[in-house]
Structure 1
Amino acid sequence: MTSTELDLAWVHPRLGGLARRDTTGLGSGLSRAVADRLGFDVALVRMAFIVLTFGAGFGAALYGWGTLLTAGPTGRRPIDSLLPSFRTWSVGAQKFVVIGSTIALVALVSSVTSFPWVLAVIAVIALSLLRRRGRGGSVAPAADLTTTLDDDQLIDAWRRDMARAAGARSILRPTPAPPRPTEVMAAAPALAVPKAWGWAITIPLIGAAVGVATWVFVGSAVTALAAATALTGLGAIGHAVLRDSRRLPRAFLWFLAVLLASTGWLAAKTAGAPLSDAEVGPHSVTRIASDETVDLTGLVADPGVEVRVVAVGSDVDILVPGSVSDLRVSSVASDVRRQAGPATDVEWPHELIIDATAARVTIVEGARS
């Protein structure tokens, strides 16, 4: 009987029969299982899931379905517990559910947030290219696993292989368990993979050079940061795919993961900010990825009016014709400070609201126009 059990071989041939053995961490163990099977650093795999999550939730969908379709330490897939009839469906129906739910999630996230769905499309194309490149690859034979697995793990692997071949839901565990040999030959130590420290320095330098060039020609700090971060991330992934003999240091990979996540958060915040001052109100100012001076010395309004300044990824100086007694500040990764001007003896009769994200804001009190 041919099994219709859908596994991750659909994504990449070398991921067929994947099992999550280490589930003691914060996640489900999927990243480590994929990394061990493909020969990548686990930090790189986790970084890929984090980055793709900013593609309208595509990374979260991949991680979720990957976990559901991968057997855990008990040899049973989570999807078989949640939906026992799933494995009896045709392969086409199972793929339809996976693809349809992923598209629905990406569409939903992109509609309610500013996360771009274009990144998900690029990821699908990249996965397709990797799948073509991986055709013909084979999973390590069971004989190679005996050097790293104990008796219980070997029996669990036997159960999964037999269940997949027979299409049955479960097979009774053979009893008694094979006796443990009195003498165990020590496995040969794994060869250490050289660290590519030169590339760990060269890739960020190239990304920084592109970022500087983007800032010079475009004039947007946020766009320059996005270009530098994107090129650095693509360089790291390209190195991992093309160079199996040398690995990027884990410290560099975690640094890149934090940088990519921070840039994605800043991009989402920037895209979600008001597009114009008129959208916020008649007494509001919005500055995104700019270096400007906001002159409020000529503001004509009734006393007590709220004046809001929104600054995202910007360096803004706010000129106020007096001392500000009513000030409200909401800042994230920002520096908001007050500076005395020549005419601080006059009190400004309005409420000043500062909403700063990754910005530097200086309030010059008592400034003159």
Structure 2
Amino acid sequence: MSTGTARGVRPDAVPLGIRATVRHVGGLVDARLRAELRDDHERYAPVGASAPDVVEAVRTAVFGGGKRLRPALAFLGFTAAGGAPGDPRVIDLGAALELLHTAYLVHDDVMDDSPTRRGAPTTHARFGETHLRSAYAGEPRRFGEGVAITVGDYAFFGAMGLLAGSGPQAQREFFEMAKDVCVGQYLDLLAAARPAGGGPDPEVIARYKTARYTVQGPLRLGAAVAGRLPELGGAFSAYGRCAGLAFQLRDDLIGALGDPAVSGKPVGDDLRQGKRTPLLAFARERLADDHRARARPGPGAADLLDRIEAGRLPEAEIPAAQDLLRDLGVHDRVRRECAALAAEAVAALGPVDLDGRAEENLRQFASEVADVSGIGDPGARARP
């Protein structure tokens, strides 16, 4: 395993501003991951020409995009707790979080049968095409999915290896977080399979599947590596739960109503797949309120929402589904929810003693994830 992860980092290098922190930490984590994967490639190259394929697939997935947000939040949790910015353990931790994230994405793409991610073929799609093009025996789909499962597993075990120097407390926290996400993923699958209104609460799914390892887990892990988890764990849990839910709500809004030219993400996938996001729960609640108030939500609104939730929405109806969400006030509801969650997150930091610069970055992050202006705003909608 390579070492020397934080070479060139000054002891006082805590950037001011969440975006500067993400760039700073992302560069260090990327260098660490490149070194680790290079060593892995060299290890397996003598085994045979195809042996390093799994390592290269992990490399492709890791460097195919992503903001490196989780490593940045782990860095802020660590430095807020008084950890030195140049400590190589926090860069190893950030690299481990990126590999864990990669494992989840590769497996999630199989579960969602997604052909692309970040504008490129997904792991299972790429290897399925290789199977077809090479006329291998068996089914291309099963081969591609089997390789993707293996690639995700490899990334997860790579993450475990990078935690070697983090200490027992951080390792326990990491594995508890990873198990929570698995439960959240199962609840998400269950919600999609059950009839509308009969599945798990979308907010519970968002809390376990996303908030737990996007914000809360990285902060708590940073505090654990710094040796202050017992003191700061409660505040970081409260902050991470609220900021993480706001992050997920904003991401759901981008996925449903955002501009793909701006976000870089495909729009409408969740609507096509009938994912039971909080947005659909908000829409259903508003529709019920309108009926009770004898308002007229529009002809066919209930039927259209039923088709969305059942995952039976044809491509041609995506614009109508987006209009329905806007007309039912989903954007405004998300704006209010995110603002309240951000305020609650910031308040959670008040009672604890944190490094001032890191705390200011956390306050800024809460503000940014609460900002949904311009994302599918009904007032900004182009009309014929």
TM-score band (shorter)? Answer: under 0.3
How does the TM-score come out when normalised to structure 1?
0.26
More helix by share: 2
Name the structure where strand makes up a greater proportion of residues. 1
| More RCO (CA 8 Å, sep 6+) | 2
TM-score, scaled relative to structure 2: 0.25
Asked which structure has the greater CA Rg, the reply is 1
